[in-house]
């Protein structure tokens, strides 16, 4: 069975990240740093709490109204990570995110990929044979409208591969049924260092992994 995959989220790290945003179109708000700690502001912007391993947190504001998280983690304090989350949605925010990424594209080719989320959307239900294959290696855990597929010994955080299923049409108030199967590949999955300019190699690696889990032949649409 063939399917189309799209990149929904892309995180990359850089030792000089903020240099990309020195133009008037951008503004960087400090949320956590020396002498600054505004966890409520972070929660307001991203609906997530500031975890202890985030030693520095900032919000990138763009002229189109986007707010993107910039983090510096305790395990890699010489680099900042920028998160592009929700690149393939059915809303205006996704369009603005895609435009911003294209504007930055030539300048970020040597940045290191730290996370990549691949989404596969199905009009109607996700095929039962795909669900059956997924359940062979993962245990379903229901949380609100989403089903998270966990390994037997998995704790709260999986740094390699996270898998979830959810009704995309409910999250975006679409007038037709659309279910999403999403694979999130974290830093533990990549092992080797991959840069943005090496995404073609990453797509090939990811497609093989998705096939192993689902039986799907996935063609991933390049960014």
Give residue-wise pLDDT tens across range 121-148: 999 999 999 999 999 989 999 988 999 9
> 221 pLDDT exceeds 90?
yes
Q: How many domains does the chain have?
A: 1
Are 13 and 84 contacting, i.e. CB atoms less than 8 angstroms apart?
no
> 157 pLDDT exceeds 80?
no
Are 216 and 130 contacting, i.e. CB atoms less than 8 angstroms apart?
yes
In sequence order, what are the beta bridge partners of 119? 6, 182
3-state secondary structure (DSSP) of residue 95: helix
Q: What is the pLDDT of residue 11?
A: 97
| Domain region containing 108 | 2-220
Helix/strand/coil percentages in the chain, nearest 5: 30, 40, 30
Are 109 and 196 contacting, i.e. CB atoms less than 8 angstroms apart?
yes
Alpha-carbon dihedral 85, 202, 222, 93, rounded to 10 degrees: 0
First-to-last C-alpha distance (Å) of the chain:
23
Give residue-wise pLDDT tens across range 21-46: 998 899 999 999 999 999 999 999 99
Are 208 and 218 contacting, i.e. CB atoms less than 8 angstroms apart?
no
Give residue-wise pLDDT tens across range 73-117: 998 899 999 999 999 999 999 999 999 999 999 999 999 999 999
Q: How far is CA 170 from CA 80, 127, 131, 166, 174, in A?
A: 33, 19, 20, 9, 7
The tokens for 55 are: 């030693």
| pTM (two decimals) | 0.92
CB neighbour list of residue 25: distance below 8 Å, 6 or more residues apart? 62, 63
The tokens for 133 are: 């294959």
Q: What is the pLDDT of residue 158?
A: 84
Give residue-wise pLDDT tens across range 5-27: 999 999 999 998 999 999 889 99
């Amino acid at each position: 069975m063939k399917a189309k995959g799209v990149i929904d989220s892309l995180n990359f790290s850089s030792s000089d990240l903020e240099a990309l945003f020195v133009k008037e179109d951008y503004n960087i708000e400090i949320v956590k740093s020396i002498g600054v700690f505004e966890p409520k502001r972070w929660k307001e912007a991203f609906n997530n709490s500031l975890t202890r391993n985030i030693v520095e947190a900032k919000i990138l504001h763009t002229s189109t109204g986007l707010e993107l998280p910039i983090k510096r983690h305790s395990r890699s304090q010489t680099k900042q990570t920028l998160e592009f989350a929700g690149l393939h949605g059915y809303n205006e925010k996704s369009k603005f995110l895609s435009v911003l990424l294209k504007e930055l594209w030539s300048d970020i080719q040597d940045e290191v990929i730290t996370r990549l989320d691949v989404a596969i959307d199905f009009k109607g239900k996700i095929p039962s044979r795909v669900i059956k294959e997924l359940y062979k290696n993962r245990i379903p855990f229901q949380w609100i409208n989403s089903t998270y597929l966990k390994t037997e010994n998995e704790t709260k955080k999986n740094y390699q591969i996270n898998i979830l299923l959810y009704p995309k049409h409910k999250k975006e108030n679409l007038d037709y049924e659309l279910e999403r199967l999403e694979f999130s590949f974290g830093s533990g999955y990549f092992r080797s260092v991959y840069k943005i300019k090496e995404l073609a190699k990453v797509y090939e690696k990811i497609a093989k992994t998705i096939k192993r889990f689902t039986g799907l032949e996935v063609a991933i649409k390049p960014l």
